[in-house]
Amino acid sequence: MQLSGKVAIVTGGGSGIGLAIAHAFVDAGMGVAICGRDQSRLERAAEELHGNVIPVACDVTDENQVSALVELAVTRFGHLDVLVNNAGKAAFGNVADLAVERWDRVQAVNVRGAFLCARAAWPHLTAAGEGYVFNISSIAGKEGFGGAAAYATSKHALMGFSESLREEGIPVGIKVSAICPGYVDTAMTAKADVPPEAMIRPHDIAATCVYLLGLSPMACVPEVVMRRMAL
């Protein structure tokens, strides 16, 4: 895919992994719509990006807001080529102690949000002829961890969603890749028992997305597992 002039939506694009991906896309000459729930954070991110960027406040669990996000991006840029489902929520604690509300919110953001965004973007990605969906999953989508049942369950579900979406995308020219990093140096992992220098950098994930977009039309990488180097 020739990236210059292409258009992407990046959910959770105001910070962390999403912001790094938006940076990489802008550097490649793409137009980018970044979304999140904090408009002021999005506006600061847009100023930092210095490119063809629009910040859009959106709760990805809300069907109407997601539809408005996609329509705004298409109206602003004229088309849509890439969707990055990066918005994520984590809740940690043993199952016996985990509040139902926290469990539900994690599933809503990580699974329902990806579904709503993909469904709204799909007709536009189909029209693009070379559409691409990135689902930012996790090592927790491949392995379960004690104290992280809500998060691991949501990321396992996202992996199943990615596989189904990939099959549906083949006849219409849409590629789907799930990115499964371990610990990434972001605010979400600030309290993790892993030193920052041992974590994956957000720009490594961004570079991976750009690389995958640049593959030939016949090449699709279903999933990328990224682990930290052993210390």
CB 18 within 8 A of CB 87: yes
The phi-psi region of residue 79 (left if phi > 0; otherwise alpha if psi is between -120 and 50; otherwise beta) is beta
Q: Encoding tokens for residue 102? A: 């926290």
Domain-embedded: residue 1: no
Q: What is the DSSP string of 181-201?
A: ESSBSSGGGTTSSS-GGGSBP
Domain-embedded: residue 155: yes
151 is a catalytic site residue: yes
User: What number of other Cβ atoms are within 10 A of residue 27's Cβ?
Assistant: 14
Domain-embedded: residue 230: no
In order along its 231 residues, the chain shows pLDDT tens digits of 789 999 999 999 999 999 999 999 999 999 999 999 999 999 999 999 988 999 999 999 999 999 999 999 999 999 999 999 999 999 999 999 999 999 999 999 999 999 999 999 999 999 988 999 999 999 999 999 899 999 999 999 999 999 999 999 999 999 999 999 987 877 777 677 776 777 889 999 999 999 999 998 889 999 999 987 654
List the Cα angle 65/70/72 in 5-degree steps.
Answer: 90
> Residue 96 is part of a domain; what is its CATH number?
3.40.50.720
Q: How many domains does the chain have?
A: 1
Domain-embedded: residue 171: yes
List the Cα angle 153/144/190 in 5-degree steps.
Answer: 85
Cα–Cα distance, 155 to 135 (Å, whole number)? 10
Domain-embedded: residue 228: no
pTM of the predicted structure, to 2 decimals: 0.94
The phi-psi region of residue 50 (left if phi > 0; otherwise alpha if psi is between -120 and 50; otherwise beta) is left
The phi-psi region of residue 5 (left if phi > 0; otherwise alpha if psi is between -120 and 50; otherwise beta) is left
Cα–Cα distance, 152 to 64 (Å, whole number)? 27
What pLDDT is recorded for position 186?
Answer: 74
Torsion of CA 36, 42, 48, 54, to 10 degrees: 90
- Provide the domain limits for residue 126: 7-222
Domain-embedded: residue 231: no
Cα–Cα distance, 16 to 9 (Å, whole number)? 15
Cα–Cα distance, 12 to 9 (Å, whole number)? 10
What pLDDT is recorded for position 231?
Answer: 45
Cα–Cα distance, 73 to 65 (Å, whole number)? 12
Q: Which of 132, 151, 183, 211 is catalytic?
A: 151
What pLDDT is recorded for position 129?
Answer: 87
Domain-embedded: residue 109: yes
Domain-embedded: residue 2: no
